[in-house]
Homo-oligomer: A and B are copies of this chain.
Amino acid sequence: MRLLLIVGLLLLPLSLSATSLSVTSPDGKISLTLDDASLTYQVQFNGKQVIAPSQLGFRFLQLPAMASGYKIVGHSRSSADTQWQQPWGERETVRDQHNELAVSLSHPQRQAPFTLRFKVFNDGLGFRYEVPPQGVDKLDIIDELTEFRISDSQHTTAWWIPGRGWNRYEMLYRTTPLHELDRAHTPVTFKRPDGVYLSIHEAALVDFAAMVLDQQRDGVLKSDLTPWSDGIRVKTPGSFITPWRTLQIADTAVGLLNSDLILNLNEPNKLGDVSWVKPGKYAGIWWGMHLGTETWGSGDKHGATTDNAKRYIDFAAEHGFDGVLVEGWNIGWDGEWFLNGAVFNFTQTYPDFDLAAVSAYGAKKGVKLVGHHETSGHISNYEAQMAAAYDLYATHGVSQIKTGYVADGGQATRIDENGIERKEWHDGQLMVNHYLYSVQEAAKRQISINTHEPIKDTGLRRTYPNWITREGARGQEYNAWGSPPNPPEHTAMLPFTRMLSGPMDYTPGIFNLAYNGLDAENRVQGTLAKELALYVVLYSPIQMVADLPEHYDAHSEAFQFIKDVPTDWVQSIALQGEVGDFVVFARQDKHSKDWFLGALTDEFPRKISVKLDFLASGQRYTAQIYRDAATTDWRTRPYDMIIEQQQVTANDKMILPLAASGGVAIRFKAH
């Protein structure tokens, strides 16, 4: 079914008294009400108020605020129940079922009415502002007034990372009563005292500043748009359409994970045929630099040599991986590279790296070179070279580039029109536009982008499917040098927080878990089985096989799972889980009838009972199970693993025993 029903698109004239309008979800459980006099909205779920009356609006530099005194002068309603296909993703087919309300609001002393558009789904809602030309040729937004008022901030739990300051999102998630949250990046996850889960985020962040949530007073979370360096929040030509402000609502924690709300609020694919965007797995010259055994810069320990790249290509070819990432291949890394933004050259290689030779060698072996551009956040330098740099890679058959924006002090650098160096936040309007510009320029050359130190994901992969993955949270590298490294709960936290926004390039698969010894603080704080589970739990259409090739030799049986696990799915189901505690995912391979399951836990061991009713009915499967042993202990015996087989059908149930910070990975091979 493509389109069930569209009704009520005409504007209905209304009386001039204060008015409320409501819109409910298709299943009737969620209800949103707009009040025009106060310009506030509120949200009910199952008859309970989950968002108390909350302000809407903006303040501008050139015009009076859009805040109150408005009248509804018209509205339209529509309903949709459609399906659309993803070129790649957690699932092939996405259902978009929602009720829509578009309200036209007018103010006696202002020009042109504006529109508030609400879409209410069974799993949450989104709304956005559509502001037509206001009779000025420049309209600067200096504050967004949108609030999310959550009552009982003392007894609502929030999972969050601090907003702004250090803004690559690479912080440990905090678990606190809501009232202890000061300012947080979205998505922010909440659990109300009645057990209802919420997530506040945004969708389709384009030509706008990111919404950070600022707790103005207990329970009042207000949009705090990240400013430009000159303090303006958003620069518009006099009219604008905002991203969608989103609220996901679920009865269970995994309910948030099984939601497609963010994708449904993005525009369809604008790139046409994207068969050139290829999910897959890649190895690469990367982990050695984090361990300190190799360097990005030139010298004796330079990682990106032609010989080393060929060795990795051999490794990838032998095991069936699609690509090899090479970091540190280009001029600019010497010295303190995170200060080298203006120095990086994206077309000149170090003398010991032969780009043509390496890519030709890869082509012969069926392995693609994965490109790499570290900018240190100097976007003027990068944009000046971008066309030439992407052309160069395209010439050599590179179809994916990992970009990096490690900026000292957390802000990107640009040179403005007067030659003045400016520092800009990663999530301000300028950088939002820069990141998308990079993706669009890459698309012209059939190149996919994997952004590190990115703008947060807001579902733009639907519109630009070559934005294939990104970082945007603490990844594996913190285990090498982070202080502290990622604690056992971290990967049980990510699915319920960061990953509500989209795929993450966590770079799993470290097999040499304790490179400095079991007692060293900096090591992988988990078991080998958990490292396998990450490939199923932390969704990304491209997954790294992150460790050094030689480290896989010691555990070749476990390595088989990494070779077998796909990265593209017909369907994904979060079966069980609690935020920061544990999670169980089942996913169906897109290129076979196989299913895969991944489960992992925080610092507590647990036994999880899983019904296999997600499997195809009547189909027999061999479950290839990689699990913690009774002797497994992430601190002392992290490598202990039982690999066993079991014959199962959809009628069976499995008991999954997870060690502390352990995991389990299963391939259900269809007969």
Contact = CB atoms under 8 A, between A and B. Distances in A.
Contact of A230 (B61, B65, B183, B409): B61
Contact of A229 (B143, B217, B410): B143
Nearest to A166: B217
Nearest to A420: B64
B183 A165 contact: yes
A162 to B, nearest CB: 4
| Copies of this chain, count | 2
A232 interface: yes
Given A142-B231, A143-B423, A182-B183, A216 B59 contact: no
A293 interface: no
A449 to B, nearest CB: 26
Nearest to A153: B483
A27 interface: no
Contacts of A174: 180
A186 interface: no
Contacts of A421: 64-65
A484 to B, nearest CB: 8
Contact of A63 (B63, B163, B409, B420): B420
Nearest to A161: B182
Contacts of A423: 59, 143
Interface string A422-455: 1100000000000000000000000000000000
Contact of A232 (B65, B180, B182, B230): B230
A661 interface: no
Interface string A236-260: 0000000000000000000000000
Interface string A521-547: 000000000000000000000000000
Interface in A57-72: 59, 61, 63-65
A503 B42 CA distance: 43
A69 to B, nearest CB: 11
Size bracket of the A interface: 35 or more
Contacts of A183: 165, 182-183
A447 to B, nearest CB: 32
B216 A165 contact: yes
A221 to B, nearest CB: 10
Given A143-B229, A165-B183, A233-B231, A483 B63 contact: no
A595 interface: no
A215 interface: yes
A663 interface: no
A409 B67 CA distance: 13
A66 to B, nearest CB: 12
Nearest to A409: B216
Contacts of A228: 231
B142 A483 contact: no
A218 interface: yes
A227 B224 CA distance: 13
B165 A215 contact: yes
A229 B144 CA distance: 12
Contacts of A63: 420
Nearest to A163: B182
A402 B165 CA distance: 37
A9 to B, nearest CB: 35
Contacts of A61: 230
B182 A165 contact: yes
A173 to B, nearest CB: 13
Contact of A483 (B64, B143, B182, B218): B218
A35 interface: no
Contact of A217 (B140, B163, B164, B410): B410
Given A143-B423, A420-B64, A165 B214 contact: yes
Nearest to A218: B483
Interface string A154-172: 1000000011111000000
A162 B217 CA distance: 11
Nearest to A229: B142
Contacts of A227: 227, 231
A475 to B, nearest CB: 17
28 contacts: A59-B229, A59-B422, A59-B423, A61-B230, A63-B420, A64-B421, A65-B420, A140-B230, A142-B229, A142-B231, A143-B423, A154-B483, A165-B182, A165-B183, A165-B214, A165-B216, A166-B217, A174-B180, A182-B183, A183-B183, A216-B410, A217-B410, A227-B227, A227-B231, A230-B231, A231-B231, A231-B232, A231-B233
Interface of A: 59, 61, 63-65, 140, 142-143, 154, 162-166, 174, 180, 182-183, 214-218, 222, 227-233, 409-410, 420-423, 483
- Across chains A and B, which 6 residue pairs bring their CB atoms closest together, nearest first? A231-B231, A162-B182, A166-B217, A182-B182, A165-B216, A165-B214
Given A65-B420, A165-B217, A230-B231, 19 more contacts: A59-B422, A61-B230, A63-B420, A140-B230, A143-B229, A143-B423, A154-B483, A165-B182, A165-B183, A165-B215, A165-B216, A165-B222, A166-B215, A174-B180, A182-B182, A216-B409, A217-B410, A227-B231, A231-B231
